[in-house]
Amino acid sequence: MKIVRTRTDLREALAASRDGVVGLVPTMGAYHDGHLSLFRAARAECDVVVASLFVNPAQFPEGTDLSRYPRDEERDGRLARETGVDLLFAPAVAELYPRGFQTWVEVGEVAARLEGEHRPGHFRGVATVCLKLFNLVRPQLAYFGQKDAQQVAVLRRMIRDLDLELSLRVLPTVRDADGLALSSRNALLSPAERERALALPRALATRDPDAARAALNGLDVDYVEVVDLDPPVLAAAVRVGSTRLIDNVVLEEESR
């Protein structure tokens, strides 16, 4: 696996492998089995697997957890290599947002509610960095987790609206044995907070918004809502101490 840090080195490294299918897995690092499941899926169907490792400041609204976001690039590099990633793109902030940067992608309605409402500017940052990564890597396939269901909906909208030529692959949410969805932010939870956080998967497992709301009673809930995405989900965001967690479950036709 090769690690590159600049756009020039990335383009150069990719130049030789343009004949086959290029797959991209955008990440912010602190890898867990959710990330690794995306790498494995990409490895299984692509000739070249590119992962990006970039904690994108643009998607963290002012005053949120950018500075405490977990980082461990050495471990990430090892895990990516072991899971079949060919090329790891790990740029500095100034490489993707050089001085003078001032062009942003604003996705409309689908980005306005839920995460968009509680984290203003979040999806503007996500859409912009993903468009940049899509342009730099030019993948035929890009891999995302259902864990961030609204993010997938926003990116699908952007791909359609801006006539991008790539397909998204969306992989199921990977959970710990106790039901908690894997997230880099779980590392920020104390043991007692982690115990309290289990209310989130338990609430969503009811697949019923009222029952879920009741099960989250006592936690600091940003939202718990049925969202008509493709597929429809019951999605929730809660704060446990100073850590914000999101999760969702897919609602099958019969339970709608």
The site for ligand AMP (CB under 6 A) is made up of 27-28, 34-35, 37-38, 144-145, 147-148, 171, 173-174, 181-184
Closest CB to ligand AMP among 18 and 68? 68
Minimum distance, C-beta of residue 28 to ligand AMP, in the bound complex (Å): 4
Q: Which helix (H) or strand (E) segment is 202 a member of?
A: helix 199-205
Residue of 32, 35, 118, 122 marked catalytic? 35
Are the C-beta atoms of 119 and 1 separated by less than 8 Å?
no
Minimum distance, C-beta of residue 182 to ligand AMP, in the bound complex (Å): 4
32 among known catalytic residues = no
Closest CB to ligand AMP among 32 and 138? 32
Minimum distance, C-beta of residue 126 to ligand AMP, in the bound complex (Å): 9
Closest CB to ligand AMP among 86 and 148? 148
Task: Give the torsion sign (CA, 181, 185, 187, 190).
Answer: negative
Minimum distance, C-beta of residue 149 to ligand AMP, in the bound complex (Å): 8
Radius of gyration of the chain (CA): 18
DSSP string, 21-82: -EEEEEE-SS--HHHHHHHHHHHHH-SEEEEEE---GGGS-TTSTTTTS---HHHHHHHHHH
Residue number with the smallest Cβ distance to ligand AMP: 145
Of 237, 215, 26, nearest to 117 by C-alpha is 237
Minimum distance, C-beta of residue 228 to ligand AMP, in the bound complex (Å): 19
DSSP string, 98-158: -TT--------GGGTSTHHHHSTTHHHHHHHHHHHHHHHH--SEEEEEGGGHHHHHHHHHH
Closest CB to ligand AMP among 18 and 75? 75
Closest CB to ligand AMP among 14 and 151? 151
Task: State both tokens at 209.
Answer: 């918004």
Task: Compute how many other C-beta atoms are within 10 angstroms of the C-beta atom of residue 178.
Answer: 11
Task: Give the torsion sign (CA, 125, 64, 168, 158).
Answer: negative
Residues known to be catalytic: 35
